[in-house]
A and B are shown apart, each in its own frame.
Chain A
């Protein structure tokens, strides 16, 4: 019952190009789902079909149990959508634009003024409310689009790259806002910023060439990394080489990498075989040899590395299939 978004066998063809090639998804209330994937993977196209802008070539989408194709108005009423690039009417000011969207959304009287005021406060738009949108900076334009999306406090939020172009403070604010709203809604965001997955998402999917390559929690995502459970320590550069050699022959260590931070300090990372936990072994080893270690931590996994491996693999499989 709490399945607010349900996507079944979604396909989208543009002529010969297959942009979305069979995507199944369910997003429940309380979830923040992150869409990850290389450029042209089909993230935006999927969002356009969820929000009812594009009709799928095959497959179906239901939002709050309303089929988007058969009952579009009911579905659209429950969705707040920030399209890619945050389009808005340039000649309007944020005031008149939000007023227009509120009217279309059927908000009236006190409810309308309150909704606009709340959205403006949450998104910090007060300072530009009377300036034509076309003269706003990129970040502010994006924020106007966000305000428009959350205006009617929708059950489902679809945000296509919501933090793109925002300054670090605003990125932080928007992520906080998303987390605050999360318990009451089903939220889908797309992003190229992998830290955002840890920062806001309860689940992430990787899309490549229109297909889902992976779906799981950020921790599960990170666990695919060969750095998952790796142990990294900072040591004096002088002894780094001997430490590397010693660690490399430990039973569960597959290999050791090191990067020099400066003349004094080097960071040594021991990568385990099959992601086995090796931190105890390494701690014993440190005590045995009496090494002086400045910091030591177990890595959860490196998202960029997982992302690269997964999407590159998909790429090479695709190449093979073609040849």
Chain B
């Protein structure tokens, strides 16, 4: 078994060793339910797709993912187990990836548990399941992006509450950066190139394009490089902060 996998296994079982996992999954399912059926009006729309279900994921993740990621490294630093981990024969990169993948697997499990929504829509109508699959893929990529941000932030502080709040704010900013309201704020003074860069960082734009069922390689590259960037920053943050 590779060391990354060993870390992944330990982390994942750590989620389920405490009530955190169950509380998270219940709240996630409840909120997706509320958003999909009440606010998204899945039934009332009379359309056989899961757009109302996926549409709210960026906003859900912005709130819930930091709750998963906040403990990833802050807790290790606070409890001193970081010292133990870093003196075992394992590289920091392996540890960072292993922990990130564990959190990602965990959100994948939570996401998979929304299958009744998919069953319902297939029972009620005749949806295009490839579009739905693309939706799940996009949702997973989005979760990965938020997790990588959250993991990096949790490496910067021993305080989980601070990690939560800052990750929330950053994910919020990534969500918002595609909104006309926000872009207008910049377009009044910044050159168009910068406005384009800001809007190209929007989670919403990339996520929504995947939701349409067209999985564009550029969207995958966007989330992939976002994850890689923040995990790299995560490694640097631990290197810099581990002694304190």
Write the residues of chain A forming the contact surface with B, with a CB cutoff of 8 angstroms.
14, 48, 51-54, 72-73, 76-77, 79, 81, 83-85, 87-92, 96, 100-101, 103-106, 132, 148
Contacts and interface: CB of A to CB of B under 8 A. Distances in A.
Contact of B79 (A76, A77, A90): A90
Interface in B172-223: none
Nearest to A93: B17
Given A54-B243, A89-B81, A91-B14, A105 B88 contact: yes
B242 A54 contact: yes
A91 B243 contact: no
B13 A96 contact: yes
B6 A104 contact: yes
Contacts of A54: 242-243
Interface string B108-147: 0000000000000000000000000000000000000000
A83 B17 contact: no
A90 to B, nearest CB: 7
Contact of B6 (A48, A96, A100): A100
B84 A103 contact: no
B83 A48 contact: yes
Contacts of B91: 72-73
B31 interface: no
A73 B89 contact: yes
B38 interface: no
B3 A87 contact: no
Given A91-B14, A91-B18, A103-B6, A83 B84 contact: yes
Nearest to B81: A87
Given A53-B243, A89-B10, A91-B18, 10 more contacts: A14-B244, A52-B87, A53-B87, A54-B243, A76-B90, A87-B80, A103-B9, A104-B3, A104-B7, A104-B88
Interface of B is mostly: helix
A73 B88 CA distance: 8
Contacts of B13: 96
A25 B1 CA distance: 37
Given A83-B80, A103-B1, A104-B3, A51 B17 contact: no
A14 B241 CA distance: 12
B26 interface: no
A72 B1 CA distance: 20
Interface of B: 1, 3, 6-7, 9-10, 13-14, 17-18, 79-81, 83-84, 86-91, 242-244
A76 B89 contact: yes
Interface centre among B9, B81, B89, B242 (most CB of A within 10 A): B89
B87 A76 contact: yes
Nearest to B83: A83
Most B CB contacts (10 A, CB to CB) among A96, A103, A148 go to A103
Contacts of B89: 73, 76-77, 104-106
Query: 8 nearest interchain CB pairs?
Result: A87-B80, A91-B17, A76-B89, A77-B89, A51-B87, A103-B6, A83-B83, A87-B81
Contacts of A90: 79
Nearest to B1: A103
A92 B17 contact: yes
Q: Which of B1, B7, B243 has the most CB of A within 10 A?
A: B243
A47 B80 CA distance: 15
A81 B82 CA distance: 13
B207 to A, nearest CB: 34
27 contacts: A51-B87, A52-B87, A53-B83, A53-B86, A53-B87, A53-B242, A72-B91, A73-B89, A73-B90, A76-B88, A76-B89, A77-B89, A83-B87, A85-B80, A87-B79, A87-B80, A87-B81, A87-B83, A89-B14, A90-B79, A104-B3, A104-B6, A104-B7, A104-B90, A105-B88, A105-B89, A106-B89
Contacts of A92: 10, 14, 17
Contacts of B3: 104
Given A14-B243, A103-B1, A103-B6, A87 B84 contact: yes
A91 B80 CA distance: 14
B10 A100 contact: yes
Nearest to B20: A91
B87 to A, nearest CB: 4
Nearest to B79: A87
A241 B80 CA distance: 57
B87 A81 contact: yes
A84 B82 CA distance: 12
Nearest to A132: B17
Interface centre among B84, B90, B243 (most CB of A within 10 A): B84
Contacts of B7: 104
A262 B197 CA distance: 87
Nearest to A160: B83
Contacts of A104: 3, 6-7, 88-90
